[in-house]
Amino acid sequence: MEKYIELLKSNQIKVTPQRLAIVSLMDMHGHISVREIFDKIKANFPSLSLATVYKNINAMLENNFIKELKIVGQDAKYELIKEAHSHMICQKCGKVEDIILDTQKLAMAAADKSAYQIEESTVQIFGVCPACQ
Amino acid sequence: MEKYIELLKSNQIKVTPQRLAIVSLMDMHGHISVREIFDKIKANFPSLSLATVYKNINAMLENNFIKELKIVGQDAKYELIKEAHSHMICQKCGKVEDIILDTQKLAMAAADKSAYQIEESTVQIFGVCPACQ
DNA sequence: TTAAATGCAAAAAATTTGCAGACGT
DNA sequence: ACGTCTGCAAATTTTTTGCATTTAA
């Protein structure tokens, strides 16, 4: 828990039991939806309100403390900000995993082909995970 | 219009004025949200119901006739299925454009690094478009 | 003619808001 | 003690559903 307390403090986010629960779930789970956060925390912490989850998610998004992950066919998921990475998504079971891929060349190709000032890229790879094959 | 009639027919989708309006909007607009579809069509075709738009979007998704595009910070958008492509998104004005990028190497790297059977990839490049710079 | 599509209204689901009381610093 | 956070209830917003009627083929 100490770890998450520090994490929140270092981002100037006031430490509450609700936030600790949200952050530790995100850290352990990797990617998690509002519904999953609410259901899992509620089980051990029945007074939790869904509104609190939404408010905190939104505040954390604005603080750039977490990131929203939108995947076709799935609810929005949230993850802690960490080193840049891509996502692998299993089309059978819906599991989402991080994968480090080099997206530099892609971004450079995009810069070449367009007149955009490139800031970042999002890559999602869809397939079938080992367990589902 | 003939073009869109053929397009629907060739996908075994019954041709209705509502569907023609949706499909031609998508084709001309590139990427468009449910709200935008509804508002734009409704202007010239006031009897249109939002439920009809949803039902058709969902049916077309199931038929694999259109694709859903989820972009962080934006409503879901829909586009006709066409050759594989990536998207460039302007962080200032929200505009979305197609761009053809070679995602082969990325997919192969993902296949190497994981034990997934790769099926497809989604790439979104975020930046600032020429007009907004 | 007949199955499927539409529009409406209602229902359900998802998200936001306002506010009084509780809590973290 | 102060300002912020929480939980609740209500309000919005978004999406889905059921059904009577219309429509495409």
Q: What's the pLDDT tens digit per position in B5-48?
A: 999 999 999 999 999 999 999 999 999 999 999 999 999 999 99
Min distance A34 CA to chain B CA atoms (Å): 15
Chain A to chain B Cβ contacts (< 8 Å)? 120
- Give the pLDDT band (50/70/90) at residue A11: confident
In chain B, residues with a C-beta closer than 8 Å to the C-beta of A105 are 105
Mean pLDDT of B46-64: 97
Q: Which residues pair with B120 in a beta bridge?
A: A126
- Can you tell me which residue has its alpha carbon closest to the C1' of nucleotide D22? B16
Provide the pLDDT for residue B42. Answer: 97
State which residue of chain A sits closest to B91, comparing Cα positions. Answer: A119
Closest CA to A72 of B100, B66, B96, B30: B66
Give the closest of A67, A101, A117 to B110, CB-based.
A101
Give the integer Cα–Cα distance in Å for A17 and A4.
11
Place of tokens 């999953």: A36
Closest CA to B86 of B121, B130, B131: B121
Render pLDDT for A76-132 as a digit per residue (tens, 0 to 9).
Answer: 999 999 999 999 999 999 999 999 999 999 999 999 999 999 999 999 999 999 999
Give the integer Cα–Cα distance in Å for B131 and A131.
47
Query: In what order do the strands lie in the sheet containing B96-99?
Result: A96-99, A86-90, A117-128, B117-128, B86-90, B96-99
For B32-48, letters b (16+ CB in 10 Å) and e give: bbbeebbebbeeeeeeb
What phi and psi values does residue B107 have, to the nearest 5 degrees? -65, -35
* Contacts of B105 by beta carbon, 8 Å cutoff, 6+ apart: A105
Residue type, A3: K
- Can you tell me which residue has its alpha carbon closest to the C1' of nucleotide D17? B51
Q: To 5 degrees, how large is the angle CA B127–CA B129–CA B133? A: 100
State which residue of chain A sits closest to B113, comparing Cα positions. Answer: A99
Which DSSP string corresponds to A99-130? E----HHHHHHHHHHS--EEEEEEEEEEEE-G
In strand C, the nucleotides that come within 7 Å of a protein beta carbon are 4-10, 14-18, 23-25
| This prediction's pTM | 0.94
**Chain A contact for B118 (CB, 8 A cutoff):** yes
pLDDT of A2 over the 90 cut = no
Interface of A with B in 82-101 (CB under 8 A): 86, 88, 90-91, 97, 99-101
Provide the pLDDT for residue B93. Answer: 94
* Nearest nucleotide (C1') to alpha carbon of B55: D16
Distance in angstroms, CA of A130 to C1' of D16? 35
* Cα distances (Å, whole numbers) of residue A71 to A11, B69, B73, B128: 27, 9, 13, 23
Q: To 5 degrees, how large is the angle CA B30–CA A128–CA B66? A: 20
Query: What is the SS3 assignment for B118?
Result: strand
| Two structure tokens written together for B60 | 């077309």
